[in-house]
Each structure stands twice: as structure tokens, then as C-alpha cells.
Copies of this chain bind each other. A is one copy, B any other.
Amino acid sequence: MEEISDLITNLELGCSRIQKKSFKKNETITTYIQKRNQICILVSGKADLIRYDLYGNKDIVDNFISNDIFGEAFYPVHTNNELTVIANTNCIVLFLMHDDILKKCKTNCKFHNALSSSILELTLNNAIHQNTRIEVLSKRSIREKLLSYFSILSSKDFSKTITIPVSFTNLADYLSVDRSAMMREIKNLANEGVISKNGNRVKLLYK
């Protein structure tokens, strides 16, 4: 996936249909509004997808890093809740409309062509992440969710010792469980000798 980032950052932006914008931390990158069909690609930085519910509660729905693709086109036509993408760090973002992807530019620009062939790659990658999250979320208990999450990290890193790449607060969010209940369960797993824990490093002791 490195190629895509290089491709995007190195190519001249000669294409009139694709916009590249910079954002400072805490700025709003986009708001998902019905029917605009926007697609965004995060070239660099980190961002969160946030929902404000009817009572004004803030809920982190997803978070994005370099090479992630997101936008309205990935969400159903919407209801009450508003989805907003906020920059977590300084960000560079490409904006394009979903309908424009397969159409060629009048000028047949090189950038546009190269991007077209990358979109599928990015979108498939997005689907892999989504399926991974669904796999974890579909576990019934906090314990199972944690073990599933650890096991996925472990097989990705080819190691029984893993470093949790996010804060425990964010992990609880990702697993959609109460943070304190999750901490308790991690402690239980450690006490029972299933794992050992040192800060954000976890060692899997089973099998």
C-alpha cells in the first residue's frame, strides 16, 4: 500500500475534478450530508469520524490514518444523526466525487488515471478493516472481544507479544464496551494466566 501514498503525494495535481486540501488539528474535514456522494482519501495525518446524537452526545464512530478512504459514499442515505470528520492531527486530504472516478478527465490527466486504479485497492482495504472490526464486535463477551482482538494483532505481527497501538480508552471504544469493565476483564485474564500485561504490551500465554 506504500505505492498509493507515494503515487498520490508525488503526482502533480493537474486534475480539475480532484481537490487537495490541508487541515489543522481539530478542524472539520467534512460533514456527511445526504446525496453529495463525496469520497475522501487521507494522504497524511489522523482523523476521527464522529457522530453527535439527538442529545448532543459525541460518539467516535471510526478513525482514519494515512491511505484510508472515507466519505458519504460509504454510508447509507442518512437519518437524524450527523456524521462529521475531524482532524486529529494536521491532515492532507483528497476530495473527489464518486461519479467522477471512472469517467476520464477531458484532458485525460495522468493523475486521474492513476487514482482510478488505486481507488479499488483503497476500498478493498477499507472493507478488510471493516470485516476485522465486525469479527471482533460480533463476539458476545468482553473477554471474547479482547481475545479476538489480541489474536488478530498477534497473527498480523507474527508474535505472541503484542503492543496495543491505541490507548485503552480508544480500545474500549473500538470494542464498544465500557472502559472500566474492559480493564477489569484484562486484569482477570492476567490473573488467570491467559495473558500477561505490562503497560500497553500484552503477551499471549495460551497454546
Interface residues of A (CB under 8 A from B): 61, 73-76, 79, 98, 101-102, 116-117, 119-120, 123-124, 126-128, 130-135, 137-140, 151-152, 155-156, 176-178
- Tell me if B127 and A76 are in contact (CB < 8 A): no
Of all chain B residues, the one with the shortest Cβ separation from A54 is: B207
A189 to chain B, nearest CB (A): 18
Residues of B within 8 A of A128 (CB): 74-76
**Given A137-B138, A176-B139, A177-B140, residue A131 in contact with residue B98 (CB < 8 A):** no
Of all chain B residues, the one with the shortest Cβ separation from A102 is: B117
A137 to chain B, nearest CB (A): 4
**Given A137-B134, A137-B176, A138-B176, residue A152 in contact with residue B102 (CB < 8 A):** no
Cross-chain contact of A123 among B76, B117, B127 (Cβ < 8 A): B127
Cross-chain contact of A120 among B102, B137, B138 (Cβ < 8 A): B102
The 7 closest A-B pairs by CB, nearest first: A130-B130, A137-B137, A138-B176, A79-B155, A74-B127, A102-B117, A123-B123
Q: How far is the CA of A43 from the CA of B152 in the complex (A)?
A: 32
Q: How far is the CA of A80 from the CA of B174 in the complex (A)?
A: 23
Cross-chain contact of A119 among B120, B130, B140, B155 (Cβ < 8 A): B120
Of all chain B residues, the one with the shortest Cβ separation from A175 is: B138
